[in-house]
Amino acid sequence: MKFSCTQENLNQGLSIVSHIAGKNVNLPILGNVLIKADDKMLRFMATNLEIAVKCVVRGKIEASGEFTVPSKLFSDYVSLLPKERVDVEMSGNALTVACGTYQTKLNGIPASEFPLIPTIESQRKFTVKVSDLRKAVNQVLFAVAPNESRPEISGVLFKFVPGEGLLDLVLAATDSYRLAEKIVPVDVKASASISEAFSIIVPSRTVSEVIRILGVFRDSLDNPANIEIHVSDNQVQFVYDTVELISRTIEGKYPDYRQLIPDRFETEVVVSKEELSRAVKTASLFSRTGLNDILITFTPDSSIKLSSTNNQTGEHAVELGGAIKGKQGSITVNFKYFLDGVNNMDAENVILQLIDGMSPCVMRGYMDGHATQEYLYIVMPIRQ
């Protein structure tokens, strides 16, 4: 195997795939990147047996072949090379890399030991704008359960919902203490036609990796505007430009979180997002350690009051102006969870909807006299 390419192209390709590879005592090959040069194409591949990434790198191939080298070492080394032509050649069980006055030799493992990367038999393809997907993921991913004690909520729900002449992708995430949901439009013309809704659960690591890969391309001017999502029975594939990411999906049924959303509310509060965010942050300084709780009190035709007490540091209270309809009430919430929802709202104003202090607090953006429907956030109360 022998090829050459620019340092920029080589660095970009390695930065895309190297993040997946990692140390594995039982299978050292999983820490390597597979380099394949054939059919006038230079391809890099990496896998951790849960996720696999493949990408095509532009370069000049002089001799076909394949080999694996330590992924992190190769990526770190190439990132430090000058922006010149890089010549790579396999000799025995090593890869020689030359760039200007820089020369190195990387020991590797034969490609025959590299795991077979599965090909997905795509049953359905959906096309979404990259900007929409990136924004949606950022608005829900933080709410995923941090451990896998309940596997079905350790990932992000991808639910495809057909409508009259349109198709929506609903992303949802929860850790059972709060929930975030975002609706993204799907390109109907470039996607599979479905007659009824269906869903998959995508591991949070996979979703994070997709967003990270999209970030690698962010500064390029000629990138595609869309990303394809291919779905099969137990796998999902994301295709963007020359990059393919394949991942298993999580088995199990996602909780029917829609049952948590009341169809009526006793109190509705509209308040400035910026003022609410500042008030929560100041109140959080005096919240009780470990509980992170703050008390929010609503008085119709009066004000919104946020208060917190800490026996060691003191106490704090602040009143905000806002439009309050319905009954007087109060709710105690975890300030971190509450603030995550506030900060991810798209609108300048936020509407809080609740029945009482023991029921979930529903949060949406508020524009032009009504609650927006694209983004929903729910935070559960702290029971005193």
State yes or no: pLDDT of 375 exceeds 70. yes
State yes or no: pLDDT of 222 exceeds 80. no
Q: Where are the domains of the chain?
A: 2-113, 124-248, 261-379
Over residues 256-279, the mean pLDDT reads 92
Q: What is the pLDDT of residue 219?
A: 67
Q: Which amino acid is at 83?
A: K
Q: How confident is the model at residue 221 (pLDDT cuts 50, 70, 90)?
A: low
Closest to 107 (Cα-Cα) out of 59, 70, 72, 139: 70
User: Average per-residue pLDDT in the chain?
Assistant: 92
CB 178 within 8 A of CB 370: no
Over residues 351-355, the mean pLDDT reads 94
For domain 2-113, give the CATH superfamily: DNA Polymerase III, subunit A, domain 2 (3.10.150.10)
Q: Is 63 helix (H, G, I), strand (E, B) or coil?
A: strand
Q: What is the pLDDT of residue 380?
A: 94
Closest to 199 (Cα-Cα) out of 187, 181, 179: 181
Cα–Cα–Cα angle for 328, 333, 336, rounded to 5 degrees: 140
Q: Is 239 helix (H, G, I), strand (E, B) or coil?
A: strand
Q: What is the pLDDT of residue 228?
A: 96
Domain 124-248 has CATH 3.30.70.260: no
State yes or no: pLDDT of 156 exceeds 80. yes
Task: Indicate the fold that domain 261-379 takes in CATH.
Answer: DNA Polymerase III; Chain A, domain 2 (3.10.150)
C-alpha–C-alpha distance, residues 232 and 210, integer Å = 18
Structure tokens of 39?
């059919």
